[in-house]
């Protein structure tokens, strides 16, 4: 009990120390984080310059930074110019504004009168309660009273001279502006170097954070950067699209500076919760001074209400999907925390930083509570729970988890959500050397028992498969695993599902060489070939096998299952599209690909 309380106290002290360090390091950390976000946002543009224009990395980075700088300067110049024009026009609307204020006072006068009466009654009650009780005075007491000695009056204090108002100098006036320009310049320069040295920095971070667990560290870093980059790009597109109807609607209402307010609404939406309503408050308040009637003001209010309802309830769920993966509570809590810690910049950085914390909680056991608190649906990471049960030699717990998942998602969902990602994770750990041989054997044994128990029908051996295919007149489908141990189990699992629809399905042994596979397939003469390769670098590892199969069977349809939780592009140099007729990334897509063309139906992609 004492050790538990001591550990809790140490955790609390560590948390307070981290918060204090973040607060003290704000002048340094805020520009660094801003530069990191800008680098992640410009990363796809750099890749586009390299891929489409064939530019080296440094010219591509310089072009991206130049584009970003020019865009920021243009936006700043436009906002300052339009804001100055609106400020100059504001005195002309003073009479309208005074009339609006008077009308608002008249509308709120009954409430003010009631409040005044309540205050009067409250003061009367307090005065009655504070009156002193009547004292009984006696003649003896009155005679005993002695006159008070005279008190010397202190001289009246001399009035202090009024402070002299000193006009601020030119440097004092422009120093905040110069400080903002310097911070922006530092952010751009730091983002420039982050983009140039991104591959080297990534390798260094992986070596520092995970010297004994490189695969998990690499996966966590890739997921964090990918999710933050996806969130930033989606937010940029959504906010840009949001500002267009705002500007058009304000222009149709007759609002001066409609483009200015539309652009301001776009930029302010980058601030969670506070930003959208601040962007709406600016034109609403300005309309009070511009228009003599309430109609345009109510129209502007209705415009923003309709846009916010559509954006938050229709557009954002459709566009974001799982790009953020944070719960609403997490976003709200993050906005309060980072705004309290870093002010306005903290609001802009709240969601990206919280995304990184959620990913860290997913991959670091000591921080798992962060993933539970912040993730939108932490229970969906079934494969990590399954993998942890296996690594703890808890076969019964792993099978129970898989059985529940089959009831909810079916056999195909089991493959895509549990089996294939767990095998991919095991392969990463095997290559990194962080999983011992006993756990590897236990994992493979449990996976075989699980597949045979859940999917029931075992895959055909080569000889029996050929006999069954020829006897029933079925298509001859061969499923060929790549060179990794997990590829064989993945091929076995896929074969069990395909065999339910195609009796002539054959799963080749993962222990054979490529030449032996080619010889066996030559004897079988299949009508469809499916190559199974798991990450890391699944398509790259299988390129040699694909080349041999394509050379030997040029007229046979060839499908590559390069499993991935997202449909990522294939590894450079592997060229799987040129070697395979189709590349699929999930078991559901693979089942759709092996169906005959006459009987194929759309297969719903599993979330």
The per-residue pLDDT for range 522-540, each reduced to its tens digit, is 887 788 888 888 776 555 6
Q: Does the pLDDT of residue 194 top 70, yes or no?
A: yes
Q: For residue 570, what is the domain's CATH number? A: 3.40.50.280
The pLDDT > 90 percentage for the chain reads: 7
Phi first, then psi: give them for residue 531, nearest 5 degrees: -100, 130
- Same domain for 52 and 188? yes
Report yes or no on 58 lying in a domain. Answer: yes
pLDDT on residue 488: 79
- Same domain for 370 and 481? no
- Same domain for 594 and 496? yes
Q: Which of 380, 399, 414 is the last residue of a domain?
A: 380
DSSP H stretches of helix in 343-378: 344-363, 368-374
Rounded to the nearest integer, the mean pLDDT of the chain is 75
Report yes or no on 486 lying in a domain. Answer: yes
- Same domain for 41 and 187? yes
- Same domain for 188 and 40? yes
Q: What is the mean pLDDT of residues 151-176?
A: 60
**pLDDT band at 304; cut points 50, 70, 90:** very high
Flag the least confident range among 64-68, 259-263, 450-454.
450-454
Q: Does the pLDDT of residue 149 top 50, yes or no?
A: yes
pLDDT on residue 571: 43
Question: Residue 491: which domain range?
Answer: 460-599
pLDDT on residue 148: 53
- Same domain for 351 and 479? no
Report yes or no on 247 lying in a domain. Answer: no
pLDDT on residue 311: 85
pLDDT on residue 114: 64
- Same domain for 46 and 192? yes
How far apart are alpha carbons 297 and 586 in whole angstroms? 52
Report yes or no on 245 lying in a domain. Answer: no
**pLDDT band at 423; cut points 50, 70, 90:** confident
Q: Which of 148, 171, 196 is the last residue of a domain?
A: 196
**pLDDT band at 10; cut points 50, 70, 90:** confident
**CA dihedral sign, ordered 452, 457, 459, 460:** positive
- Same domain for 192 and 61? yes
Report yes or no on 156 lying in a domain. Answer: no
pLDDT on residue 424: 77
**pLDDT band at 358; cut points 50, 70, 90:** confident
Report yes or no on 453 lying in a domain. Answer: no
pLDDT on residue 245: 92
Q: Does the pLDDT of residue 308 top 80, yes or no?
A: yes
**Pair of tokens at residue 142:** 């009155």
- Same domain for 375 and 464? no
Q: Does the pLDDT of residue 602 top 50, yes or no?
A: no
pLDDT on residue 578: 61
Report yes or no on 338 lying in a domain. Answer: yes
Among 501, 533, 313, smallest CA distance to 420 is for: 533
- Same domain for 345 and 470? no
Report yes or no on 421 lying in a domain. Answer: no
How far apart are alpha carbons 59 and 72 in whole angstroms? 20
Calculate Rg over the CA atoms of the chain.
Answer: 35
- Same domain for 61 and 192? yes
Flag the least confident range among 224-238, 355-369, 444-458.
444-458
- Same domain for 190 and 41? yes
Q: What's the structural domain count of the chain?
A: 3
Q: Which of 196, 224, 247 is the last residue of a domain?
A: 196
Per-residue pLDDT tens digits for 285-302: 888 888 888 888 899 999
């Amino acid at each position: 009990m004492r050790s538990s309380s001591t550990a809790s106290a140490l955790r609390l002290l560590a948390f307070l120390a981290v918060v204090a360090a973040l607060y003290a390091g704000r002048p340094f950390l805020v520009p660094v984080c801003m530069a990191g976000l800008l680098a992640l946002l410009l990363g796809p543009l750099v890749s586009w310059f390299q891929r489409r224009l064939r530019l080296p990395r440094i010219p591509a980075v310089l072009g991206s930074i130049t584009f970003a700088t020019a865009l920021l300067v243009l936006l700043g110049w436009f906002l300052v110019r339009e804001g100055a024009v609106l400020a100059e026009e504001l005195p002309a609307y003073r009479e309208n504004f005074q009339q609006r204020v008077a009308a608002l006072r008249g509308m709120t006068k009954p409430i003010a009168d009631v409040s005044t009466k309540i205050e009067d009654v409250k003061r009367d009650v307090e005065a009655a309660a504070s009156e002193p009780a009547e004292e009984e005075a006696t003649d003896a007491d009155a005679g005993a009273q002695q006159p008070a000695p005279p008190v010397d009056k202190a001289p009246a204090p001399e009035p202090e001279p009024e402070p002299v108002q000193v006009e601020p100098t030119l440097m004092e006036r422009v120093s905040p502006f110069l400080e903002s320009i310097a911070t922006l310049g530092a952010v751009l320069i730091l983002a420039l170097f982050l983009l140039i040295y991104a591959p080297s920095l990534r390798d260094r971070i992986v070596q520092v954070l995970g010297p004994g667990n490189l695969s998990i560290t690499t996966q966590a870093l890739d997921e964090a950067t990918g999710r933050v980059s996806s969130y930033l790009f989606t937010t940029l597109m959504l906010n840009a699209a949001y500002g267009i109807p705002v500007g058009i609607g304000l222009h149709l209402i007759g609002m001066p500076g409609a483009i200015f307010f539309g652009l301001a609404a776009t930029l302010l939406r980058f601030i969670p919760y506070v930003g959208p309503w601040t962007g709406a408050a600016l034109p609403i308040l300005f309309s009070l001074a511009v228009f003599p009637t309430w109609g345009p003001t109510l129209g502007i209010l209705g415009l923003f209400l309709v846009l916010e309802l559509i954006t938050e309830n229709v557009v954002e769920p459709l566009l974001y999907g799982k790009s953020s993966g944070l719960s609403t509570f997490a976003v709200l809590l993050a906005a309060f925390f980072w705004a309290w810690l870093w002010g306005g910049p903290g609001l802009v950085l709240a969601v990206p930083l919280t995304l990184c914390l959620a990913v860290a909680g997913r991959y670091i056991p000591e921080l798992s509570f962060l993933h539970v608190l912040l993730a939108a649906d932490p229970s969906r990471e079934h494969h990590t729970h399954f993998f942890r049960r296996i690594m703890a030699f808890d076969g019964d717990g792993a099978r129970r988890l898989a059985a529940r998942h089959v009831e909810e998602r079916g056999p195909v969902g089991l493959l895509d959500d549990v089996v294939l990602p767990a095998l991919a994770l095991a392969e990463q750990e095997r290559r990194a050397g962080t999983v011992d041989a006993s756990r590897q054997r236990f994992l493979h044994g449990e996976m075989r028992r699980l597949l045979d128990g859940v999917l029931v029908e075992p895959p055909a051996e080569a000889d029996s498969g050929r006999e069954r295919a020829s006897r029933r007149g079925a298509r001859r489908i061969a499923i060929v695993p790549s060179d990794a141990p997990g590829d064989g189990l993945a091929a076995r699992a896929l074969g069990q599902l395909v065999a339910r629809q195609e009796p002539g399905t054959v799963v080749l042994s993962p222990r054979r060489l490529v030449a032996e596979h080619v010889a066996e397939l030559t004897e079988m003469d299949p009508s469809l070939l499916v190559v199974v390769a798991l990450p890391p670098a699944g398509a790259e590892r299988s390129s040699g096998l694909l080349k041999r199969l394509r050379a030997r069977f040029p007229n046979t349809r060839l499908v590559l299952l390069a499993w991935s939780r997202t449909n990522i592009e294939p590894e450079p140099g592997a060229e799987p599209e040129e070697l395979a007729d189709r590349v699929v990334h999930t078991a559901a897509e693979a089942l759709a690909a092996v169906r005959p063309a006459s009987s194929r139906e759309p297969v719903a992609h599993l979330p």
